[in-house]
Structure 1
Amino acid sequence: MRRAIALLASVIVITFGFLTLTGLIVGEDLGFLSALAGAFRVAELTSVFLELVVVTVGVTIVIGILNLLMVHGGRVVRARRGWPYSILLLISALAVIALTIAERLALLPAVDGERPASMILLETVQVPVESALAALLLFSLVYGAYRLMHRRVTWTNLLFTLVLLVALLGALPLPGAGISLLASVRDWLMAVPVSAGARGLLLGIALATVVTGVRVLLGQDRSYRD
């Protein structure tokens, strides 16, 4: 029975996967393939599948938010450790949800004639918090470089420390030829090695996505059966 259910799940996933892939790839200038896809309305089916995926993701996000509220609500009711932070989270979450609903229902007029209140709240709360976290990251990097050099001086530790110093000093808005040179080196580091590393990561993610999709289409991925 379990093997039959697994086989049925594989057939369903492979069928939906091939239909979606065909609807996304086949255009209007491929002759017979385009006519065949149009006869079976593959493009319409693909659109429906993608809409279902979007709805599923939205429902998943809502379930996650409700679970978060329930967990912290239970922590407040039971007075567990850290319950004041849970109260703060609940108040913040409910306030943002109520504010967004009020804006959607046109119950709250836009502030300054353009920006809604939710965006102002985001800019006045979220952005400073992110800036504070970035500052903490700065101190973490400096402390990490100190620990590396204090433990053992190697060429990799020395390279990390030098790059960190160049990046930090080059970002300082100070006059002088030395700072300008460091700023130029920092810009080169950001434009060449850092950009190359980021593109390599994106290529790796893309290849992993392709491999996962191929495994699903071939019925080799069993994660959807568990």
Structure 2
Amino acid sequence: MHQERLAVLIDADNSSAAAVEGLIAEIAKYGIASVKRIYGDWTDTRLKQWKAVLLEYSITPMQQFAYTTGKNATDSAMIIDAMDLLYTKNFDGFCIVSSDSDFTKLASRIREAGLKVYGFGEKKTPKPFVNAVDKFIYIENLQGDSAPVMHQNAQTAVVEKYDIRKDVKLLDLLRRAVEDSIDDTQWANLGRIGQHIANTTPDFDPRNYGYKKLSELLEATEKYEIKTRFDDEYGPHKSVYVRPKRASR
């Protein structure tokens, strides 16, 4: 089975070391991190948390002095290195870890070359960068149980369901994805639903709403029937199918 070779480039100035374990685990879902580099001015004491984890996770620090006040030399160094790596044609995709919109054009350029781009950043990340990548993952979702989740709190699951049912934008997104994925049997394959959403909304993630899986999120809306069945189209294993609940008579 082919695994994608990924180049991981981290902007130390605009990312947190607190999520490094979850970050590396998440990247492993998409391929092998053949290159892991992190960029910053390592004479700056603000990067000491990153220094503590570099060796453990085999991340190569790239020194970039801040020559001019107000100019982000780190971004420039990352962009130059990314283009150098792109031209080697040794990679299937890039992981850009930053909450900075300065990487928007870089992400678009890499995708134009036919490679996948995965973005990782905080929920404050500007939308232009989020929408420029194939998939964007919020760092807050990778920090374990202590991380803040958009609709998750210490109260009951009823509160989560109530919040989801009131999220008109989310419900419309799910509805369109299901409707556009329905086949001749009037059921929609869960994988196709997920791919449809990914194609239109790069930062969609069930974890944003307190759920680990898309199927759990769909079930929580109480608007869909969900079943599993064997499906030759997707190989000799069970697939999950979804359809809108029929109105009761």
TM tier, shorter chain?
under 0.3
Which is greater in Rg?
1
More helix by share: 1
More strand by share: 2
Higher relative contact order (CA 8 A, sep 6+): 1
Query: What's the TM-score, normalizing by structure 1?
Result: 0.20
